[in-house]
Amino acid sequence: MRLAALRQKNWLILHDVDSLCDAPGTHQIDPDLFTRDYWCERGLIVGEAPGRGSSLFLQATPTEQWVLRPYRRGGMAAKLSEKRYLWTGAERTRAFRELRLTAKLFEQGLPVPRPVASCVTHYGLTYEAALITVRIAGAKAFAELLVNDLADEALLKRVGAMIYRFHQAGLDHVDLNARNILIDPTGEPWLIDFDRCRLRSPGKWGKENLERLERSVHKFKPATTTSSIIQGYRATS
């Protein structure tokens, strides 16, 4: 994966040159690409994900869909500004950090979406940002399968084994929940949404990740035991 940065006026775009370029007939490297209006005008919005920020599913090419996710604040911070963050430099923005981390994980062969590009628009002391990744074809949220009683023991074990692979790579996923795990049509789990995540040395954060996922699983399916997830996790170690 080859990442390149482009800066013009008050915006900066970090992109994978094999996914996004200025070749004729392709989507041009431009901040408009990261707006709802751009895709709406072309009739290329094919769906929308639930959650803060409302990620959009886009028909980027005849054979590939993308996910556009604007960065949105939550909690008390959102009362001050829903989509503005404090500017401390391009490489410290949430969008650039997440794209670079996702690219590292992707290059290691871990089950993550292929990153396409991130855009940061700088306004003095603040910035806004958005991220584009490739959509995992036919995947459903683990949370949806839990709610519909479609997560069997074998799947739970595969989820545990998948998490172990990321922990071995040093990934501390600070928002490990059932919505951020996708299951593709073959039954294989994928991990998404690496905002504020980082690579770390082994520590108690691994146990905290699993505890967070356990709370999330019980939220969507109270009767579900996470013992099979732990079994899958430990069987891989």
Residue positions annotated with a catalytic role:
175
CB 181 within 8 A of CB 190: yes
What one-letter code names the amino acid at 130?
Answer: A
CA pseudo-torsion sign 211, 213, 216, 220: negative
Cβ atoms of 72 and 78 within 8 Å: the answer is yes
| E-assigned strand segments in the chain | 3-8, 11-16, 45-48, 56-61, 64-70, 85-86, 115-123, 126-134, 140-141, 171-172, 181-183, 189-191, 198-199
159 by Cβ neighbours in 10 Å (0-12 / 13-18 / 19+) ranks as: buried
Phi, psi angle pair for 148, to nearest 5°: -90, 15
